[in-house]
């Protein structure tokens, strides 16, 4: 099985920053449907810094790079997203400490640790209509591929992206129980969660970056800027 290198992780982070920045206004518009409308600005503020500093970050190991990114996220991403996303990067960094490359199984462990950390930090559970509703199925999908000994990283990424996009539609009718959207009660039903959309878009753009063929189908994915 081909390993995932530091260079691959750097490309994924660079792509994530590009996704966040090009969708800054769109993510705000989605957040404004049931939240306070600042999700896109909050993420973009932090990822703009990450994008600028990424070339000079410590790349002696995957964990070292991700730990620095977690610090930048926690410092520069506003609102509740800073602690949540920062914790995710930090937990993934701990699992990948000292590693110059990781297998799919190790990547799965990194994602699992990130999900657990995010759930503990924010208190969100599956079904609360937060990014956790995308991250848990993504983790389960990767875990299934790793358990089967699948050597096709592209197939694992595509299936993970499928799982994240499916979460947009699966949670649309739910009432939010965490975050600012939870304050509007039943009005949050029928609207997409911007965090779930962001995870799905990031994974879609990873597919594009790493040459994995995949076509989005959910409306929110098709409306993103070019």
In order, the DSSP letters of the chain are: -PPEEHHHHHHHHHHHHHHHHHTHHHHHHHHTTTS-S-HHHHHHHHHHHHHHHGGGS--SSHHHHHHHHHHHHHHHS-TTHHHHHHHHHHHHHHHTTT-SEE-HHHHHHHHHHHHHHHHHHH---TTSSSTHHHHHHHHHHHHHHHHTT---HHHHHHHHHHHHHHHHHHHTTSPP-SSGGGGGGGGGTTS--HHHHHHHHHHHHHHHHTT------SHHHHTS--
**Phi, psi at residue 188, to the nearest 5°?**
-75, -15
pLDDT of 188 above 60? no
Q: List pLDDT tens digits, range 116-172.
A: 999 999 888 898 889 999 999 999 999 999 998 877 899 999 999 999 999 999 998
Structural domain boundaries, residue 204: 4-222
Confidence of residue 27 (pLDDT cuts 50, 70, 90): very high
pTM of the full structure: 0.92
Give yes or no for a contact between 21 and 44, defined as CB atoms under 8 angstroms apart.
yes
CATH number at residue 134: 1.25.40.340
Structural domain count of the chain: 1
pLDDT of 185 above 50? no
Query: Which pLDDT score, from 0 to 100, does residue 184 have?
Result: 45
- Of the ranges 26-35, 65-74, 132-141, 166-175, which one carries the lowest mean pLDDT score? 26-35
- Of the ranges 36-50, 103-117, 130-144, 170-184, which one carries the lowest mean pLDDT score? 170-184
- Buried b / exposed e across 158-171, counting CB within 10 Å, b at 16+? bbbbbbbbbbbebb
pLDDT of 34 above 70? no
């Amino acid at each position: 099985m081909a390993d995932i290198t530091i260079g691959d992780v750097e490309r994924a982070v660079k792509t994530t920053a590009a996704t966040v920045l090009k969708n800054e206004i769109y993510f705000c518009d989605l957040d404004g449907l049931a939240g306070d409308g600042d999700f896109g600005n909050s993420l973009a503020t932090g990822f703009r810094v990450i994008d600028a500093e990424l070339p000079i970050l410590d790349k002696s190991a995957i964990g070292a790079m991700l730990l620095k990114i977690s610090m930048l996220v926690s410092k520069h991403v506003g609102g509740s997203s800073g602690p949540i996303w920062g914790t995710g990067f930090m937990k993934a960094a701990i699992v990948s400490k000292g590693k110059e490359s990781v297998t799919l199984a190790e990547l799965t462990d990194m994602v699992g640790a990130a999900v657990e950390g995010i759930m503990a930090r924010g208190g969100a559970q599956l079904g609360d209509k937060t990014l956790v509703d995308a991250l848990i199925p993504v983790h389960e999908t990767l875990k299934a591929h790793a358990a089967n000994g699948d050597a096709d990283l592209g197939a694992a990424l595509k299936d993970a992206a499928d799982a994240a996009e499916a979460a947009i539609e699966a949670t649309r009718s739910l009432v939010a129980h965490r975050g600012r959207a939870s304050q509007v009660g039943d009005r949050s039903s029928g609207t997409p969660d911007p965090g779930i959309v962001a995870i799905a878009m990031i994974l879609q753009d990873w597919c594009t970056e790493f040459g994995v063929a995949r076509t989005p189908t959910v409306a929110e994915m098709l409306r993103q800027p070019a």
